[in-house]
């Protein structure tokens, strides 16, 4: 691998040289990691973020994940199906290090921080979703030292509000590694979840010519012990959008009778909904149904049992539920009195909100180029 790296120096264009060196490392790893793990490069997207991140090398478990879009030149990966990423640097200056550390943090922010369930026969358990790893791999230093890079890593990590966003290891070929040590027993900490569970600090370790082997063993450890869960691609079919300071989904499916255009809730209205609901209690699905559905035989009883509180109801004017009398006196299917009929659901910052149609009046805007006949 080192010989092929040296051969790549004949390319004068930095972009070409960088691509060749990424390919050299990619092939080296592809030949040496378990077959169940795939290696690619391209864009990573998250189910709850409108952003995407380009990564040099992407590791994924082929049993549960494959590129959403793939051709010879571009691939798109769901963030919760990625085991980890690796950023490749020819020379690791402080500037290049900070760039790599930032890319790893940005990638980790794309991954959901939810709980996942697993069923074992009649038993079901729930646990936090495991988080992926991030690596920076450099072929050489840039006139600096491992010790100075260690100081740079510590400075960067001190600015993080979440330790799980840290880069798991930094590798400089034929020089050494920067990884994390447990403060109490000095064990290596390489998995992302352990970065938040155990007190630790970044430490540079000089391994010289053994660096590549040390990196390889740690990479295998991270790959095998980062247990991913099945990817729910349905979440990626419903893209999110950033409106103001909020990430929103399903806010853009509003229609008007006799109008071929499609509308979405405005950014100001989204902010108003969040601010008002911040002072309210969440409702369970059945509680919400008892509030918005007409009181009629069979309906009330059907939703009698309460479940976990998961939904905010936006109702600042205390609109009443729809009644059978309101429905009977409707004209062309439209209920004249303001009420909770037509309540629909949107996601804001991964929380679910129920919005009565009454409140959309004056709080929507046309989506340019979108049609009421668009499929979802």
Separation of CA 107 from chain center: 8
Helix 94-110 and helix 146-158, axial crossing angle in degrees, nearest 10: 40
- pLDDT, residue 13, reads 40
d(CA 24, CA 2): 9
The yes-or-no verdict on residue 29 having pLDDT over 50 is: yes
Residue 192 corresponds to which tokens in the numbers above?
Answer: 């992302």
Domain ranges of the chain: 2-235, 242-371
The stretch 351-356 carries a mean pLDDT of 94
SS3 letters across the chain: CHHHHHHHHHCCCHHHHHHHHHHHHHHHHHCCCCCCEEEEEEEEECCCCCCEEEEEEEEEECCCCCCCEECCCCEEEEHHHEEEEEEEEEEECHHHHHHHHHHHHHHHHHCCCCEEEEEECCEEEEEECCCCEEEEEEEEECCCCHHHHHHHHHHHHHCCCCHHHCCCEEEECCCEEEEEEECCCCCEECCHHHHHHCCEEEEEEECHHHHHHHHHHHHHHHHHHCCCCCCCHHHHHCCCEEECCEEEECCCCECCCCCCEEEEECHHHHHHHHHHHCCCCCECHHHHHHHHCCCCCCHHHHCCCCCCCCEEECCCCCCCCCCHHHHHCCECCECCCCCCCCCEEEEECCEEEEECHHHHCCCEEEEEEEECCCCC
Residues 6+ apart with CB under 8 A from 67: 40, 42, 75, 76, 77
The yes-or-no verdict on residue 9 having pLDDT over 60 is: no
| Choice between 302 and 162, residue whose per-residue pLDDT is larger | 162
CA distances from 191 to 33, 36, 133 (A): 17, 19, 7
Per-residue pLDDT band for 22 (boundaries 50, 70, 90) equals confident
Per-residue pLDDT band for 77 (boundaries 50, 70, 90) equals very high
d(CA 237, CA 193): 28
The stretch 13-24 carries a mean pLDDT of 62
d(CA 312, CA 352): 6
Q: What is the mean pLDDT of the chain?
A: 87
The stretch 240-264 carries a mean pLDDT of 89
CA distances from 284 to 75, 231, 344 (A): 40, 26, 15
Q: What percentage of the chain has pLDDT greater than the value 90? A: 56
- pLDDT, residue 47, reads 84
CA distances from 165 to 58, 159, 193 (A): 17, 11, 10
Least confident of 82-86, 109-113, 263-267, 352-356: 109-113
Question: Which tens digits make up the pLDDT trace of 162-189?
Answer: 999 999 999 999 999 999 999 999 999 9
Question: Which tens digits make up the pLDDT trace of 271-300?
Answer: 999 999 999 999 988 888 888 887 766 666
Asked if residues 126 and 117 have their Cβ atoms less than 8 Å apart, the reply is yes
- pLDDT, residue 303, reads 65
- pLDDT, residue 114, reads 73
- pLDDT, residue 50, reads 80
The stretch 250-278 carries a mean pLDDT of 92
- pLDDT, residue 214, reads 96
d(CA 142, CA 94): 8
The yes-or-no verdict on residue 201 having pLDDT over 80 is: yes
């Amino acid at each position: 691998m080192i010989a092929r790296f040296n051969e790549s120096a004949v390319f004068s264009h930095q972009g070409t040289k960088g691509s060749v060196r990424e390919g050299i490392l990619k092939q080296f790893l592809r030949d040496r990691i378990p077959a169940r793990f795939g290696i690619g490069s391209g864009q990573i997207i998250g189910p709850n973020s409108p952003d995407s991140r380009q990564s040099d090398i992407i590791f994924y478990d082929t049993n549960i994940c494959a590129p959403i879009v793939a051709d010879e030149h571009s691939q798109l990966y769901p963030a919760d199906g990625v085991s980890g990423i690796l950023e490749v640097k020819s020379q690791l200056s402080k500037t290049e290090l900070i760039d790599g550390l930032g890319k790893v943090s940005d990638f980790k922010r794309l991954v959901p921080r939810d709980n996942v369930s697993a069923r074992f026969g009649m038993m079901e358990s729930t646990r936090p979703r495991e988080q992926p790893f991030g690596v920076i791999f450099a072929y050489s230093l840039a006139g600096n030292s491992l010790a100075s890079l260690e100081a740079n890593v510590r400075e960067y990590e001190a600015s993080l509000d979440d330790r799980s966003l840290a880069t798991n290891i930094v590798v400089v070929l034929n020089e050494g590694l920067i990884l994390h040590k447990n403060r109490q027993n000095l064990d290596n900490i390489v998995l992302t979840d352990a970065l938040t569970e155990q007190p630790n600090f970044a430490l540079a370790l000089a391994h010289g010519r053994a660096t590549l082997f040390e990196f390889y063993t740690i990479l295998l450890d991270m790959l095998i012990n980062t247990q991913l869960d099945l990817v729910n691609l349905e979440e990626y079919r419903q893209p999110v959008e950033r409106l103001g300071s909020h990430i929103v989904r399903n806010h853009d499916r509003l229609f008007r009778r006799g109008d071929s255009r499609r509308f979405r809730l405005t950014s100001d209205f989204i902010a108003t909904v969040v601010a008002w609901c911040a002072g309210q209690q969440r409702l369970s699905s059945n509680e919400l149904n008892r509030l918005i559905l007409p009181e009629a035989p069979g309906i009330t009883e059907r939703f009698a049992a309460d479940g976990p509180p998961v939904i905010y109801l936006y109702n600042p004017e205390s609109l009443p539920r729809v009644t059978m009398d309101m429905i009977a006196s409707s004209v062309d299917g439209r209920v004249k009195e303001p009420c909770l009929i037509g309540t629909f659901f949107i996601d804001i910052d991964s929380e679910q909100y129920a919005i009565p149609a009454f409140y959309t009046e004056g709080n929507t805007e046309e989506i340019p180029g979108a049609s009421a006949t668009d499929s979802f």
